[in-house]
Structure 1
Amino acid sequence: MTTGRNVKTRLKTAKGRTVSSQRWLERQLNDPYVHEAKRQGWRARSVFKLKELDERFGLLKRGARVLDLGAAPGSWSQYAVKRGCRVVAVDLQPVTPVPGALIIEGDFLDSAVQERLRELLNGPADVLLSDMAAAATGQRAVDRLRAEALGETVLDFACEVLTAGGSCVVKLVKGAEAALMPKALELFQTAKVVRPKATRADSSEVFLVARGRKGAPPASGAGEGS
């Protein structure tokens, strides 16, 4: 991706600004994906991760029902709507409305929220996208276990709501994929772990891309790259 920005910006330390916030601001100012997202009208640089996965695996088709978990600030929902999909999304935080998407505020782990998502889908989903992340502790082993638990919950929900042949994208921390790959291959025809180019160099995140949901959702009945 070419942005024409070759000069690194450094900020003068501002009174009251912490070192971590200073680093975050400098990183934002010097991140080409941040500038490109802003130029194209996307809400966050993370849209380029989904775009790469979609172009590689052919995930989003016009008319598909898409469930977006952990949607804030809304760039993945924006992208899916632009691709012609019908989007239902949820996040713990308020999300500014995305035209063409139904977005609710709530905890995905709450069974009442999951039931509301099923109602809004009004039928089986074709694609489930999860950009959720468990709260980080800074302890690698603990964070991996938390990612595994959340990822397993997402796969269980995908098993309930996806149509036969459907796809699922789950964000994980590196190392968690080893525990989840057997379950993914039990539920889907194929599963791969991908680290998109837009992933920050200091990030441990990876994405599990599972395609070809086997069978059909028990309650709903019966929507390749390399």
Structure 2
Amino acid sequence: MAKKKFSKEWIQQHINDPYVKMAQQKGYRARAAFKLLEILDAEKLMRRGDIVVDLGSAPGSWSQVARERMLGAGGIIDGRVIALDLLPMEAVAGVEFIQGDFREDAVLEQLQQLVGNQKVDLVISDMAPNLSGVESADSARIQHVCELALDFSCRHLKPEGALIVKAFHGSGFSQIVEMFKRHFERVLERKPKASRDKSSETFLVGRRLKR
């Protein structure tokens, strides 16, 4: 019974959510688009000509934002957006998509082949593992996903490049921040306005790789 009540409440909140309404108006596939937009504007990241890798991209709202930022004259994309997710994602015009599990070497290799020798300007990750409710297990899963995104970034980012990942406050969060500080000159925590108050999600931004 409690579960039903929660579902009803959640649906009601979702329907009345101003970011859900705005996403529908602007044609974004999810309200998460506004989280990324706020971070990009605050950090002055992502511009035409950039190479962007979107990890955990489905349903595609972050890829939509990236594509929008790349549009040049005549609607031609100036730059590259490469997206990856375990789930299928409806095509976003001009976005290269790989379906597969980022934790698997074969999928990672596919992504690395697509990037090739080009260095990446920005890696964005809205990836979140399936959570079990067991805090120690969940924090290990979250840390693992962040580690993979960080490892990929260390190999493929330009020296001036940046990484944005979703993390969660709680057990293991400080270790993720420390991990970022070992590799980036500047590390920031951002909680966008579009992030729900009840959510413990916090986005970490790492800028400029340490030599």
TM-score, normalisation: structure 1: 0.83
Answer whether contact 1:177 1:193 (CA < 8 A) is retained: no
Matched, 1:86 2:84: no
Report the equivalent of 1:136.
131
3-state SS of 2:49 partner = coil
State how 1:23-62 maps to structure 2 within 5 Å: 23-62=9-48
Q: Deviations over 1:150-200 (max 9, x none)?
A: 212221111111121110011011134310222212211100111111101
Report the equivalent of 1:205.
201
In proportion to residue count, which structure has more helix? Answer: 2
Q: Detail structure 1 runs of 4+ shifted over 6 Å in the superposition.
A: none
Matched, 1:63 2:49: yes
Q: Deviations over 1:64-120 (max 9, x none)?
A: 110000001100000011101410001111000001100111000111111111122
Q: Deviations over 1:34-57 (max 9, x none)?
A: 000100111110000000000011
Matched, 1:121 2:115: yes
Answer whether contact 1:50 1:76 (CA < 8 A) is retained: yes
State how 1:111-190 maps to structure 2 within 5 Å: 111-122=105-116, 123-175=118-170, 176-190=172-186
Structure 2: runs of 5+ lacking an equivalent:
71-78
* Structure number with bigger Rg: 1
Aligned mates of 1:21, 1:120 — CA distance in 2: 41
Percentage of identical aligned residues = 40
Aligned mates of 1:63, 1:119 — CA distance in 2: 20
Answer whether contact 1:177 1:208 (CA < 8 A) is retained: no
Report the equivalent of 1:218.
none
Aligned mates of 1:107, 1:24 — CA distance in 2: 29
Q: Over aligned residues, Cα RMSD in angstroms?
A: 1.6
TM-score, normalisation: structure 2: 0.89
CA displacement at 1:20 relative to structure 2: 4.2
Structure 1: runs of 5+ lacking an equivalent:
1-16, 216-226
